[in-house]
Amino acid sequence: MDLRTALTTHRMLAIVRGSDPEAALRTVLTLVDEGIALVEVSLTGADALTVIERARKTLGAGPPLGAGTVLTADDARAAHRAGADFAVTPALGEGVRTATELGMPVLAGVLTPTEIATAGALGATALKIFPAAQFGGPGYVKALRGPFPHELLVPVGGVDASAARAYLAAGATAVGVGSPLVGDAADGGDVTALRERARAFRAAVRESTP
């Protein structure tokens, strides 16, 4: 898949991490139904690989589906076997290298300028600025745009709808959104409320798109 184009076009990545595999699957499918085209299933969720497999089977060759919290080479291989289209990592390591070798584009977790440069050398497609809220917020993303004008920066961590607008205005390519969007839906919570939050986030992203 072309992760670079997908992030630039859709400008939001939903992050699903759940304690209930059935609810997590339902959450993924609901987000896609609401028009959120990029979804990541974190490997730290319950039975996450099976959730990815089942979601991929249900969605067919449609919206891209990512595996998140890919730390090790084994994580990358397992995500690839499960049918994930791309990998998301919280940091730099073997997960980045192996996913790239397997042909999976990688949204690699970084924080500092040195890590940004290293991620490029490892073959990362885009950069997950994490944890963004605890490290300068939108102002930090804007500052990174100076030395790294061509990198795809995706802040993750504490991004609500208001913060999404601010990050995109500051020059982020896209935002990664977890609990402010998903809430308790992946643990068996209210799907109707999930749909309402999805619509609110999509509106926030549309408002921030030139």
Identity of residue 95:
G
200 CB contacts (<8 Å, ≥6 apart)?
161
Q: End-to-end distance of the chain based on CA atoms, in angstroms? A: 24
84 CB contacts (<8 Å, ≥6 apart)?
41, 52, 56, 65, 66, 67, 104
Catalytic residue among 22, 115, 128, 142: 128
Whose structure tokens read 């896209």?
Answer: 174
Identify whether 53 is a catalytic site residue. Answer: no
User: Does a cis peptide bond (omega within 30 degrees of 0) precede residue 131?
Assistant: yes
Identify whether 40 is a catalytic site residue. Answer: yes
Q: Which two tokens stand for residue 142?
A: 């804007």
Catalytic residue among 22, 34, 40, 115: 40
Tell which residue, 201, 165, 207, has the closest CA to residue 181: 201
| 84 close to 66: Cβ distance less than 8 angstroms | yes
- How far is Cα 112 from Cα 102, in angstroms, rounded to an integer? 26
Q: Is 118 strand, coil or helix?
A: helix
Catalytic positions are 40, 128
